[in-house]
Amino acid sequence: MNTSAFSAVKLAPSDPILGLTELYKSDTNPDKVNLGVGVYYDDNGSVPLLECVQAAETVLVAKRAARAYQPIDGNARYNNLVQALLLGTESKVLSTNRMISAQTLGGTGALKIGADFLKQVVKCTDIWISNPSWANHRGIFENAGLKVNTYPYYDAESRGIAFEEMLATLKTLPRQSVVLLHACCHNPTGADLSREQWRLVLDVVVEQDLIPFLDIAYQGFGDSIEEDGYVVRLFAETCSSLLISNSFSKSFSLYGERIGGLSVVSSTDEESLRVQSQIKRLIRSNYSNPPIYSGALVETVLASPELRAQWELELQAMRERIKLMRSALSENVSSKSGIDFSFITEQRGMFSYSGLTREQVVKLREDYSIYAVESGRICVAALNNSNISLVSEAIANVVD
């Protein structure tokens, strides 16, 4: 053997979210529950294969299409459907060709290409993300070479938004700073700004000439596809420079298919073409072009009025089941522990910032085989009628 080039390689820390799934899988307790990763499970504890997706699969299999390379930025029809989903079909931004979109490898892929674009092409040096934010945001932007800073977001005391502090910090940012905002169903807290607060944030973005990057990974898990798209439409109508990453992992239950999109709004159609050329260059040197299958599934559903209507119903059912679980968890834990847990019903999307401390999270894992993120984030979408009593009891015991 020749000398190892890897002898000094250090062991990387395990991922705070996906690393938990690895631990969970190796746990032999039959009553184990994974509240770690953001995945929607149905009431039987399974990741659903949506009926609209099954119907789209039947259509695709019957086509027996060859697998040539896709364009660098993916399937054009898919990209148009993504744009309509984000901005609506009447959008002036779309009719004036000021937004380009590219099919990406999930929302993470969109964030990565967007980060490369900001660093390498726009020459940005810093980004501001919420405190707290999705654990992977920091890694993605740091890997792209951006310095990651935070703005205040969550107030643990009131279990709400530290809005004054957030706004005050945004007002101090240098012009052309990049600000990452969660357009709905904030991950990890489940605490969203009101529409009035969003308008105030937009005013600061405009006054300070900031570059907003909207991450929308949970569209449809708050109120509806339409209502959850409010912030994206609001910003697109006003901003001359805007990035949007969207994901279909959750809303189509296509986690393992890695399907999402990066959209960029520019100030003119001509500027948009130049931006598009750079996005394509970055994709080409990252992974060449995206896979066919996942984009074709989403395209088939969104392009068919029947399948699209079915999708909205299935999404509504997921959203309503999560809300039921929020109520059940809140009632059970409140009555068992005597501590008011009603805040859980006010949070939105898949997650709840439960207020559990790191020690309580470790106790849940070690004593009950219930896995949660160390920040206290729990995935309410993993609760069901079979595990809700056990989880409520365990949480009530560890907070006692």
Give the span between the Cα atoms of 297 and 248, in whole angstroms. 11
By CB under 6 A, is residue 37 in contact with ligand LMR? yes
Task: State in angstroms the smallest separation of the CB of 38 from ligand LMR.
Answer: 3
- Considering the complex, state which of residue 225 and residue 372 has its C-beta at the smaller distance from ligand LMR: 372
Residue 147 among the catalytic residues: no
By CB under 6 A, is residue 55 in contact with ligand LMR? no
Cα 221 to chain centroid distance, Å, stands at: 11
Taking alpha carbons only, the member of 131, 156, 195 closest to residue 343 is: 156
| Beta partners for residue 194, in sequence order | none
- Considering the complex, state which of residue 311 and residue 371 has its C-beta at the smaller distance from ligand LMR: 371
Phi, psi (deg, nearest 5) at residue 172: -95, -5
DSSP code, position 381? G
By CB under 6 A, is residue 311 in contact with ligand LMR? no
C-alpha distances out from residue 260 to 72, 148, 221, 286, Å: 14, 23, 16, 16
Residue 128 among the catalytic residues: no
Task: State in angstroms the smallest separation of the CB of 125 from ligand LMR.
Answer: 26
Helix (H, G, I), strand (E, B) or coil at 379: strand
One of 70, 169, 187, 330 touching ligand LMR (CB under 6 A)? 187
One DSSP character per residue, 45-96 reads S-----HHHHHHHHHHHHHT---PPPPTT--HHHHHHHHHHHH-TT-HHHHT
By CB under 6 A, is residue 21 in contact with ligand LMR? no
By CB under 6 A, is residue 17 in contact with ligand LMR? yes
By CB under 6 A, is residue 134 in contact with ligand LMR? yes
Catalytic member of 73, 116, 215, 228: 215
CB 71 within 8 A of CB 279: no
Catalytic member of 73, 128, 134, 311: 134
- Applying CB under 6 A, the site for ligand LMR has a residue count of 6
Looking at beta carbons, which residue is closest to ligand LMR?
38
Question: Is the alpha carbon torsion for 224, 230, 231, 235 positive or negative?
Answer: positive
Residue 250 among the catalytic residues: yes
One of 21, 80, 91, 136 touching ligand LMR (CB under 6 A)? 136
Q: Which residues are near ligand LMR by CB under 6 A?
A: 17, 37-38, 134, 136, 187
